[in-house]
A = this chain, B = another copy of it.
Amino acid sequence: MKNPAAGNFFEDFSLGQKIVHATPRTLTVGDTSLFTGLYGGRFAVQSSDHFAQGIGYPVAPIADDLVFHIVIGKTVPDVSRNAIANLGYAEFRFLKPVYPGDTLASVSEVIGLKQNSSGKNGVVYVRSTGTNQNGEKVLEFARWVMVNKRNLDAPAPETVIPELDKAVDPATIGGALPSLDMGHYDFDLAGSPLRWGDYEVGQKINHFDGMTIEEAEHQIATRLFQNTARVHFNQHIEGQGRFGRRLVYGGHIISIARALQFNGLANAFHLAALNGASHVAPSFAGDTIYAWSEVLDKAELEGRDDLGALRVRLFAVKDRDPAEFPGVKEDGKYEDGVVLDFDCWLVLPR
Contact = CB atoms under 8 A, between A and B. Distances in A.
Interface of A: 3-6, 20, 22-26, 28-34, 36-44, 47-51, 60, 77, 101, 103, 105, 133, 188-192, 206-212, 214-217, 219-224, 226, 228, 230, 233-237, 246, 263-264, 266, 286, 288, 319
A81 B103 CA distance: 39
25 contacts: A3-B264, A5-B207, A20-B188, A22-B191, A23-B43, A23-B48, A26-B49, A26-B50, A28-B32, A28-B33, A30-B32, A40-B224, A40-B228, A42-B226, A47-B226, A48-B103, A105-B189, A209-B228, A210-B233, A211-B233, A212-B215, A212-B233, A214-B216, A216-B217, A217-B219
A106 to B, nearest CB: 10
Contacts of A44: 22-24
A290 to B, nearest CB: 8
B24 A48 contact: yes
A77 to B, nearest CB: 8
A286 B37 contact: no
For the complex formed by this chain, how many copies does it contain in all? 3
Given A24-B48, A133-B50, A288 B235 contact: yes
A236 to B, nearest CB: 4
Contacts of A235: 212, 286, 288
A31 B30 CA distance: 7
Contacts of A237: 210, 288
A82 to B, nearest CB: 13
B212 A246 contact: yes
B208 A49 contact: no
Instruction: Sort A-B residue pairs by CB-CB distance and give the 3 closest, nearest first.
Output: A22-B191, A30-B33, A40-B223
A28 to B, nearest CB: 4
A230 B207 CA distance: 13
Nearest to A36: B224
A30 B24 contact: no
Nearest to A42: B23
Contacts of A233: 209-212
Contacts of A37: 34, 220-221, 223-224
A234 B101 CA distance: 35
A234 B32 contact: no
Residue of A26, A222, A230, A246 with most partner-chain B CB within 10 A: A26
A116 to B, nearest CB: 26
Contacts of A286: 235
Contact of A26 (B40, B48, B212, B220): B48
